[in-house]
Structure 1
Amino acid sequence: MADETSKNSLLKKIIAIILSFGPGIFAIGYTIGTGSVTSMIVAGSKFGMQLLWVLLLSCLFSGILMFAYGNFALITGETALYGFKKHLKFGKILAILIIIGVTFGQWNSLMGILGISSNIIFEILAINFESLVPYKYETVLLTAIIIITVFYLLMLVGKYTFFEKILVIFVTLMGVSFLISLFFVQPLPVDVIKGLIPTIPEVPGGKMLVAAFVGTTMAAATFLSRPLFIKGKGWTIKNLPQQKKDSITAAILIFVISGTIMAVACGALFHEGKVVTHVLDMANTLEPVAGKWAVTIFFFGALSAGLSSIFPCLLIAPLLIADYQSGELDTNSKQFRIITAVACLVALIGPIFGANPIEIQILSQVFNVFVLPIVILGIILMLKNKKVMKDYKTGLSIYIGLYAAFFFSLLISYNGIIALLDY
């Protein structure tokens, strides 16, 4: 009996830890969606662990940027774009460019996410009901319409805590599914060590994947939306230590989950010489070693990743516009409902045309890279403004991290342009 009580209290503690997660859960929701899962699996299947160094750098810089944007919000009480517009000389133009760039990238991403999630559900159904196979297009499209309608209706409930709880569930399911998958296929330790040495694969599509990697891991939307989510959480200047811990935890979790997905693909496919080009290939990642169960577990993780990204992607445009206008997000406003409805219709474009969602997904992640330098530059200028930051002094290590992130984002943007021209 005592044993059972201790088990229950341990379970309660774990649930409490998961639910106590702050705005960092949105960072994981934005960052690890099917875009990230797709990029990690394609990279793991094509290049093994060779791009692990890109993931490590991206997560390190992401943690610094989340911390910087979070501190700015707590000290000034302002949100990012509203602050840019108010305090920077060309802030208005900068903010409008950011809104257009991030919305374009995230809505493109939404198309891929919805396509992949619908395809995953179709594959699960097809395993059990073979008669559906000839009706793939119709089933995928109908599934996409049902998913996006359900999410739109959930959006209308519109409370920060509600979104947070749903995201916590999906992110937990995703993390657990991929960790279970890792037990079936472990990469060689030597592959992991080699992956930390900076190299770019000299093959067609290598540069594209590096850009997609950074676009999905250092997602501009993650940093820009952080001040609004911090406001939604009700945090004040007293929560500075909590904000720091939340940023670090989110960055570590993003690295661990993403690295796990890449390792699963490396262990299962890379040494077999198999490459992922379609959604079913992603499921086949584990079938040779663990049979149908592994496919189900892996699908479940990928589906949770997709569903955890739909909320943040639908939220991004109304978030940024509200941020620009006043720094306040009203989820009950007419503007919010109209913009999210348009996002839902855009999301259906991929499934309607029957496009390959994996290609859409990787392309959309590359587009996310181009807005990154101005998002980093914006926060550097805000932190250096003594009038805005009052008596708060940002540490030298944070500035070094931010300048390094800025230089890194310029390199990756250049790399992304070359990749798109090659494409």
Structure 2
Amino acid sequence: MSESKEKKSLLKKIIAIILGFGPGIFAIGYTIGTGSVTSMIVAGSQFNMQLLWVLLLSCVFSGVLMFVYGNYALITGETALFGFKKHLKYGKLLAILIIVGITFGQWNSLMGILGISSNIIYEILAVNFDGLEGLKYETVLITAIIIIVVFYLLMLVGKYTFFEKVLVIFVTLMGLSFVLSLCLVQPLPMDVVSGLIPSIPDVPDGKMLVAAFVGTTMAAATFLSRPLFVKGKGWTIKNLDQQKKDSITAAVLIFVISGTIMAVAAGALFYDGKVVTQVLDMANTLEPVAGKWAVTIFFFGALSAGLSSIFPCLLIAPLLVADYQSGELDTSSKQFKIITAVACLVALIGPAFGGNPIEIQILSQVFNVFILPLVVLGIILLANNKKIMKGYKTSIWVNIGLFAALFFSCVVSYTGVLGIMTKYF
């Protein structure tokens, strides 16, 4: 009896720890979606672990930026875009450029996410129901409509804590699914170590893939939305230490989950010379290696990744507009309902036209990096102004991290431009 009680209390503790996770869960929701899963799979299947160094740098800089943006909110009581508009010389123009750039990238991403999630559900249904094979387009479109309507209705009734709990469930399922997949197929340890040495794949799409990698892992939306989520959590200046731990935990988990996906693709596919261009290909190639169970587990992880990204992607535009206006997000306002409804309609464009969402997905990740230098520069200017920061001094180490992140984001933006020019012009 006591043993079963102990087990129950241990399970309760684990659930409490998972549910106690703070605004960092939104960072994981924003960062690891089907776009990220696709980028990691394509990289792992084509280049083994060669791009692990890009992932590591992106996660380190993501952690620093989440920490600084969160601190700014707790110390000043302001959100990021509102701060840009209020304190910086050309802050109004900067804020508007950021809103347009991020909304474009995230809505594009939403099209891909919904397309891939609907395709995954179709594949699962097609395995169990033979009659669906000739009805792929109709099934995918109906599934996409059902998913987006359900999420829109949840948006209308939800508050911050509700969104957080739903995301916790999806992210936990996703993490466990990919870790279980890794237990079945692994890359060689030496390949993992050599992947930490900087190098760019010598292929036409190599530069573009590096940019997509950074666009999906070091996502500007993650940092800009952080002040609103920190405030939504009810944190104040007393929670500075908690905010720091939350930023570090989120960055570490993003690296672990993304690295695991890349490693699964490398272990299952690269050594056999099989190249994957989309998430659904992964299932077919995994099956001979690890059997139907692995396919189901991986599908489940990819689907959880997609669904965990829909909430943050729908939230981003109303979040940024609210941030710009006043720094407060009202989920019951007419503005919130209209903007999220437009986002839902945009999301359905991909499935409605029956296009392959992978191209859209990787291209939208590349577009995300173009706005990144502005987002990093803005917070450097605010965080180093003692008057704005009420005497709080940003440490030399954090500043080194910020300036390194600025340099890295500029290099990657330039790389992204070269990648697009090479591929499309």
TM-score for both structures, normalised by structure 2: 0.99
Question: Who is 2:132 aligned against?
Answer: 132
- The aligned amino acid for 1:44 is G
Count of residues paired in the alignment: 423
Contact 1:278–1:356, Cα closer than 8 Å, also in 2: no
Contact 1:181–1:286, Cα closer than 8 Å, also in 2: no
Contact 2:42–2:278, Cα closer than 8 Å, also in 1: no
3-state DSSP of counterpart to 1:286? helix
Distance (whole Å) between structure 2 residues aligned to residue 175 and residue 105 of structure 1: 25
Distance (whole Å) between structure 1 residues aligned to residue 395 and residue 269 of structure 2: 44
Tell me how far 1:278 sits from its aligned partner.
Answer: 3.6
3-state DSSP of counterpart to 2:82? helix
Tell me how far 1:293 sits from its aligned partner.
Answer: 1.2
Question: Who is 1:373 aligned against?
Answer: 373
Contact 1:119–1:279, Cα closer than 8 Å, also in 2: no
Question: Who is 2:407 aligned against?
Answer: 407
Question: Who is 2:214 aligned against?
Answer: 214
- The aligned amino acid for 1:12 is K
Tell me how far 1:211 sits from its aligned partner.
Answer: 0.5
Alignment of 1:185-196 (within 5 A): 185-196=185-196
Alignment of 1:14-413 (within 5 A): 14-413=14-413
3-state DSSP of counterpart to 2:328? coil
Tell me how far 1:118 sits from its aligned partner.
Answer: 0.3
3-state DSSP of counterpart to 1:207? helix
**RMSD between superposed Cα atoms in Å:** 0.8
Contact 1:376–1:405, Cα closer than 8 Å, also in 2: yes
Distance (whole Å) between structure 2 residues aligned to residue 178 and residue 185 of structure 1: 11
What do residues 82-108 of structure 1 show as CA deviations (whole Å, max 9, x unaligned)?
000000000000000000000000000
Contact 1:173–1:304, Cα closer than 8 Å, also in 2: yes
What do residues 35-83 of structure 1 show as CA deviations (whole Å, max 9, x unaligned)?
1111001100010100000000000000000000000000000000000
- The aligned amino acid for 2:100 is I
Distance (whole Å) between structure 2 residues aligned to residue 411 and residue 285 of structure 1: 35
Identity %: 82
Structure 2: state its 5+ residue gaps.
none
Residues 336 and 288 of structure 1: is their aligned pair in 2 closer, same or farther, counting only changes over 3 Å?
same
Contact 1:107–1:313, Cα closer than 8 Å, also in 2: yes
What do residues 115-140 of structure 1 show as CA deviations (whole Å, max 9, x unaligned)?
00000000101111122111111111
Distance (whole Å) between structure 2 residues aligned to residue 386 and residue 94 of structure 1: 21
Contact 1:265–1:285, Cα closer than 8 Å, also in 2: no
3-state DSSP of counterpart to 1:332? coil
Contact 2:38–2:278, Cα closer than 8 Å, also in 1: no
- The aligned amino acid for 1:149 is V
Distance (whole Å) between structure 2 residues aligned to residue 279 and residue 159 of structure 1: 32
Distance (whole Å) between structure 2 residues aligned to residue 402 and residue 79 of structure 1: 18
Distance (whole Å) between structure 1 residues aligned to residue 161 and residue 27 of structure 2: 15
Contact 2:44–2:262, Cα closer than 8 Å, also in 1: yes
- The aligned amino acid for 1:418 is L
3-state DSSP of counterpart to 1:388? coil
TM-score for both structures, normalised by structure 1: 0.99
Contact 1:171–1:304, Cα closer than 8 Å, also in 2: yes
What do residues 272-323 of structure 1 show as CA deviations (whole Å, max 9, x unaligned)?
1111124421222421222111111100000000000000000000000000
3-state DSSP of counterpart to 2:342? helix
3-state DSSP of counterpart to 2:391? coil
Distance (whole Å) between structure 2 residues aligned to residue 115 and residue 282 of structure 1: 16
What do residues 210-252 of structure 1 show as CA deviations (whole Å, max 9, x unaligned)?
0010000000000000000011000000000000000000000
